[in-house]
Amino acid sequence: MPSRRTGIANLPLHHGRAPRWLFDRMVKLAREITIAIVAEYGPDEMLHRMSHPYWFQAFGCVLGFDWHSSGVTTTLCGALKEGIKGLERDLGLFVAGGKGSASRRTPSEIETWGERISLNPVPLVYASRMSAKVDSAAVQDGYQLYHHTFLFTSRGSWAVVQQGMNDRNHYARRYHWLGESVTDYVNEPHSAIASQAKSTTLNLVAEESGPARSTIAGIAHDEKPEIILSDLRKLKTLSLPAHHTVEMTDIHPESLSRILLGVYERQPEDFEKLLGLQGVGAKTLRALSLIAELVHGVAPSYRDPARYSFAHGGKDGYPYPVDRKTYDTSVELLAKAVHRAKLGLTEKRDALNRLGGMRG
């Protein structure tokens, strides 16, 4: 399924979590805001908004979280998932995954919902896996993924919000995806950038990395593992230029032997198929990138793709402490405003489905 990464946001890496009194309120307000948006514009609009890094940040600020903290990603996604629990069918909107171990349950959660609503989960599971692969292996920017939330509708539309951390610069980087037929996974999947902290990056999904992707896929497809390992051992003896951004220090040819043998046996015909193979991660792609550049003379890109807290206040007191009375009033007023819409969501969707069938 074609896809598009819609933006990247860099945030200071903050530890800790939202206090229970605030998170409970975030759950309620996130639910009412989501109901209002879906009732008025449909579930696809919620995907569009969640995939926009600035709107996502504003949403987190309205919910009362710190406007510049990395924790807004995990907390907002968690509050949204909890908030719409039990309303997924009526909304036509589903949320899978989360932080840490919850992210690894994403495929099974997608499959479970697929069975319940008669939706083929295969392309959605593939979208979840490939978006994570691109941002962890094909774009090597120093951020280790630890959060992956996958949002989808009953019609199969989807969006991804995932985040990685960099212990060196003490920043987290959030990646947004929107599953629309705009481009593919491995060629300029992003279209908007929101970033403050830059890093040294091996970017295999840049437009200018096209020749490198073809060469890397060709190496994996055509060259026997022993030849690749021999080239890597030779490269280990070279003194690479100081400006070179792909490090050899953590590449050990012997440890790649089994993976390269498996890749050669499966014969991936292009870079996306190679990236999607089990076991092919950052180190494998880094090794193949080195061979493509230093043996075959085809260089990948090193271009880094990256670059409303006054509603209720912020968790840490900025710009002012969360006003609990105002927060509760907002939840109450919004709940009343969308009550009738919430009751009519199923009927509205059924009517639209019938209308669509008449037009067909």
Closest CA to 61 of 258, 302, 308, 346: 308
Q: Does the structure show a pLDDT above 50 at 359?
A: no
Average pLDDT value for residue range 250-277: 84
pLDDT in tens, 205-214: 888 888 999 9
**CA separation for the pair 166, 104 (Å, rounded):** 20
Q: Does the structure show a pLDDT above 80 at 315?
A: no
DSSP 136: I
Burial of 129 (0-12, 13-18, 19+ CB in 10 A): middle
- Write out the E strands in the chain: 3-12, 93-99, 139-140, 144-153, 158-166, 171-183, 202-203
- Report pLDDT for 128: 95
Burial of 95 (0-12, 13-18, 19+ CB in 10 A): buried
Q: Residues near 295 by Cβ (< 8 Å), separated by ≥ 6?
A: 231, 235
Q: Does the structure show a pLDDT above 50 at 225?
A: yes
- Report pLDDT for 281: 84
Average pLDDT for the chain: 79
Tokens of 232: 């890597």
- Tallying the residues shown for the chain, one arrives at 360
pLDDT in tens, 183-192: 677 876 654 4
Comparing 218-232, 265-279, 342-356, the range with the smallest average pLDDT is 342-356
Three-state DSSP at 97 gives: strand
pLDDT > 90 in the chain, percent = 33
- Report pLDDT for 107: 97
- Report pLDDT for 199: 59
Pick 112 or 204 by higher pLDDT.
Answer: 112
pLDDT band at 242 (very low <50, low <70, confident <90, very high): very low
DSSP 255: H
Closest CA to 307 of 144, 183, 152, 171: 171
Q: Does the structure show a pLDDT above 50 at 358?
A: no
pTM: 0.74
The helix or strand, by DSSP H or E, that contains position 100, with its residue range, turns out to be none
Tokens of 83: 């908030």
Domain definitions of the chain by residue range: 3-201+306-351, 207-294
pLDDT in tens, 130-173: 999 998 888 888 888 999 999 999 999 999 999 888 888 878 88
pLDDT band at 203 (very low <50, low <70, confident <90, very high): confident
Comparing 92-106, 244-258, 340-354, the range with the smallest average pLDDT is 340-354
Tokens of 64: 């009362």
HSE toward the beta carbon, residue 126, CA cutoff 13 A: 17
Q: Does the structure show a pLDDT above 70 at 333?
A: no
Pick 240 or 272 by higher pLDDT.
Answer: 272
Q: Residues near 230 by Cβ (< 8 Å), separated by ≥ 6?
A: none
Backbone angles phi, psi at 180, to 5 degrees: -115, 155
pLDDT in tens, 4-50: 556 666 666 556 567 888 899 999 999 999 999 999 899 999 999 99
Q: Does the structure show a pLDDT above 80 at 200?
A: no
Tokens of 250: 């953590």
Comparing 111-115, 152-156, 172-176, the range with the smallest average pLDDT is 172-176
pLDDT in tens, 67-104: 556 678 899 999 999 999 999 999 999 999 999 999 99
Tokens of 28: 């309620």
Pick 11 or 216 by higher pLDDT.
Answer: 216
